[in-house]
Structures are given as C-alpha cells and as structure tokens.
Amino acid sequence: MAIPNMQIPSRQLFIDGEWREPVKKNRLPVINPATEEIIGYIPAATAEDVDIAVKAARRALGRNGWGSTTGAQRAKFLRAIAAKVLEKRPELATLETIDNGKPWFEAASDIDDVVACFEYYADLAEALDSKNKTEVKLHLDSFKTHVYKEPLGVVGLITPWNYPLLMTTWKVAPALAAGCAAVLKPSELASITSLELGEICREVGLPPGALNILTGLGHEAGSPLVSHPDVDKIAFTGSGPTGIKIMTAAAQLVKPVTLELGGKSPIVVFDDIPNIDIAVEWTLFGCFWTNGQICSATSRLIIQDTIASQFLDRLLEWTKNIKISDPLEEDCKLGPVISRGQYEKVLKLISTAKNEGATILYGGERPQHLKKGYYIQPTIITDVDTSMEIWKEEVFGPVLCVKTFKTEEEAIELANDTKYGLGAAILSKDLDRCERFTKAFQSGIVWINCSQPCFWQPPWGGKKRSGFGRELGEWSLENYLNIKQVTQYVSDEPWAFYKSPSKL
C-alpha cells in the first residue's frame, strides 16, 4: 500500500460534540521527530477549558443524552467509530508516524488494533444489558438482593505518546462501553490522532459531551482535570513521577485512580532454547519494538552463562541488520525517539553506564547516515552491575542491558531486582521451569517463549511501582462501572426489632 502524503489537520479542542477554540487561544507546536521540523500546531487547553469540558460531560449523563443509552445503543456508536477508523487507516497511520516517529507499518498495525478494540468493547457493551441486574443469593428468605452495574460517571483519561491513538482507545472504548462520559487529555508530544478521533466521533453522531478531547500541557490541562471536583475517576498511563502526582491530587477528593506506569522488565533466556535465532529475535523485539519506547520493554536480558557468548554474537549480528531510517520508508524497523528531551535523556543514560564501568557492545550513538532527527542506534550494554543506573532505571529508548546467571535461583533474583513489576519473559523449552518462573516473577504480565505480544482480550497492568488496576479485557470495563447493591424486604411480616407501642 502506498503511504499517503499528508498535511497536519488544523483542529481546536473537541468539547460537547463541537470544535472549540481554547479560552486563552494558546497553541503548541507539533515537531516531527524524524526531521526536527515544526509541522503544525495543536490547541493548548487550560483550567478554563477543562471546566467547560467537564460540565459538558456531566450534561451528557443527563436523562436525554448519553446517560440514557442502553449497552446495545452504545455498541452501535462504538462499531461506527471502528468502521470510520478502518476507513481512515492509511491517513491515521501516517499522522501517527510523523507525529510519533514509529515506523509506518507499526503505526498501521496499531490502527488495526484500535479497530478491533472498539469492536471488542461494543460486544461487551451489549452484554452489559443482561448483566446489570445480577441476583445475589441470601440466607434469609425475607430479603432479595441484586447487584446493579451502572456507569461510574465523568472520567478523566490521560494517555501517553508512545501509542497515541491505541492508548487512547484502551481507555475511551471501555469508558464509553460502560456508559461513562469522558474527558481525554492526550500527551502534548503526540496528540494528532487523538484529535482526529474527535472528528470521527462527530462524523458518526456520538451524543455531545460523551467524549471531550483536550490537548495541552500536563500542568495546564492534566492537573486541573485530575483535581476537578466533578470528575469521578482518573485513568492514567505514563511515567512514575507523574503517576505519584496524580495519585496525590486524587487522594484529596478520595477519587479512584487506575495507574499504568513504568517498567524495567526482564527477559530470562536458558541454554535449552531449541533455536537461538528465534530467541534472539524475541529478545530484540521485546526491547526495540516501538523504537524502544514501551513501558513493558524487556530491556534487561538475563542470559545463562553457558550460552552467553554464542547468544551475544548472534544478537550482535541481528542488531546490525536492523534498518534505521525515516519511519515512512519501506521496511524501516527503527525510527527516532519522540523528542529532543528524550533523545538527550537516553544518550545520557548510555554515557553514565559507560562511565560506571559497563561496556557498550554496540550502538549508543546517532546513526552516521542520519544527520537530522532524534535517532539513536539500537544499543547493547554488557558488563552491567546491579548497582548501575542502566540496570535500575527505565530508559524508554532502544537500549538493552545484559547480565549472566548460572542457576534458576540466581535468575529469579536478578529478574525481580527492580522496583517495577509490569512484564517479564522466560525463554526455555522446559515448561515446568516456565511455570516455576511464572509464579516467581513479580509482575502483572508473563510471556513464555516470546516477548511483548499484546491482545485486547487479556488484562494488562502491573504491580509494585508499575501501578495498579488493569486495562483491556473485561477487567478494563470494571474500571468504569459502579457496583450498586439493591436489597428489598419481601416479607409481609413485621421486622419486629422494636417493641410495638400499645394500640389505641
């Protein structure tokens, strides 16, 4: 398929079903990370816009709007959104690539997942109609109880820049399926396709206020959204420090939050792997996919010492074969990181590792053939000590650090030697061993003989400082539902707790 040549659409904030100029009329530049050029502008919301959007969302929950829809009715809107996204797939993938820097074929694959995710939650929305009045058996015949599932209310959704439209969909689709009204604040570093979702919602006739989209800076738009008294819940995906701020602000109003934060995930490789090339490719994919900018990246390779030399030699050969180029080029497998700030951060972490005594086995610099753009070679670092920053801190770039082990016990200890707990992978033909590691890993996700496959049906989330709560699957829908107990007294007999007064 030919990749379309596109201009950045000029959009405003999407509030109450319409495009609306920010109150302060501010805009932010959009920088293409492959060229470092400004290619457009997005609106910059502030607290005033947040208040307008939250009020629109609250109105949408009224009796005659989004709040009165059935699950089946909401499903029709979700399927219409999915169909429109599919129709615009080439354009959306291109916008994603020039905004975010990921290879076009990856962006196109993300758009496919967006379509599937909306369709999946359309099915769950329909199923809600038969599940929202579930009887609970009691030990007393004089009472009947059922559980009613209702929308939680107005929800604030804050999404990252590494999967702009897909991470938006992970939150928007279940929130709308549940019947909530949402205010979305995407990352200011990659907001274009999230704004295009607003246009799609307008085209399919989504009721006004059901979804509102505010682009802008975190402290100007995100913070007011989190602390707004009429927002009933916050769902956030992003960095640990920002997650701490959100949790602290939400606590002032006893507001529930779902947090999907950073990671420093291990991939443990044993010497019984049946095919070294298959294992090498999963190792590369687990760390360098999405230009290394993925919270679940298995960026700590823990390799059994008996095959370490052979494995690293082959890993080096595969890494040198990765095509690094403009992400719109055919067969590009590694594009630029998102911004100059991220570029400098990644290079500094690599430099610090070298200064601390680690060996840069490969990469660690700008590719020589690319003079512009925030490109960093895929980097492999060996001779790593567990006290080093590169072992402990999330890089969020194409950087893999390596340690060896002798025994299972040592491998488990190294794997769990992190404050994070999002993902973990094990590569071994011994399935009993894989089961032992599955139970031992301190993580929310485990991959066996692979790394990073992600589907919309199973739950996604972590433990420790990787956050709490789950996205995707039926578990995500529960994030946006209030569980209400309804108990009825059905006996004709008096309760007889108090002594009846004498009759006149």
User: pLDDT, tens digit, for every residue of 210-237?
Assistant: 999 999 999 999 999 999 999 999 999 9
Beta strands in 169-209 (DSSP E): 181-185
**pLDDT tens-digit series, residues 231-247:** 999 999 999 999 999 99
Domain 12-260+465-485 identical in fold to domain 264-446: no
DSSP three-state, residue 369: coil
Task: Specify the pLDDT at position 185.
Answer: 98
Beta bridge partners of 362: 380
DSSP summary character for residue 291: G
Residue labelled with tokens 């998102």: 338
pLDDT-based confidence at residue 500 (cuts at 50, 70, 90): confident
- Structure tokens, 37: 């050029």
pLDDT-based confidence at residue 6 (cuts at 50, 70, 90): confident
**pLDDT tens-digit series, residues 461-481:** 999 999 999 999 999 999 999
**pLDDT tens-digit series, residues 322-366:** 999 999 999 999 999 999 999 999 999 999 999 999 999 999 999
Residue labelled with tokens 């999963």: 282
| Alpha-helix runs per DSSP H in 292-336 | 308-320
In whole angstroms, what is the distance from residue 282 CA to residue 286 CA?
Answer: 6
Beta bridge partners of 30: 40
Of the listed 196, 220, 260, 471, which one is catalytic? Answer: 260
In whole angstroms, what is the distance from residue 177 CA to residue 125 CA?
Answer: 5
Task: Specify the pLDDT at position 316.
Answer: 98
Q: For 264-446, which CATH superfamily applies?
A: Aldehyde Dehydrogenase; Chain A, domain 2 (3.40.309.10)
| Contact (Cβ atoms closer than 8 angstroms) between residue 71 and residue 127 | yes
Q: Where are the domains of the chain?
A: 12-260+465-485, 264-446
Element containing residue 18 per DSSP (H, E): strand 18-20
260 is catalytic: yes
Beta bridge partners of 488: 144
| Contact (Cβ atoms closer than 8 angstroms) between residue 18 and residue 208 | yes
Task: Specify the pLDDT at position 2.
Answer: 56
- Angle at 348 (CA atoms; ends 284, 36), nearest 5 degrees: 80
pLDDT-based confidence at residue 4 (cuts at 50, 70, 90): low
| Alpha-helix runs per DSSP H in 154-268 | 164-178, 192-204, 223-227, 240-251
Fold of 12-260+465-485: Aldehyde Dehydrogenase; Chain A, domain 1 (3.40.605)
Question: Crossing angle of helices 104-131/164-178, nearest 10°?
Answer: 10
Q: What percent of the chain has pLDDT over 70?
A: 98
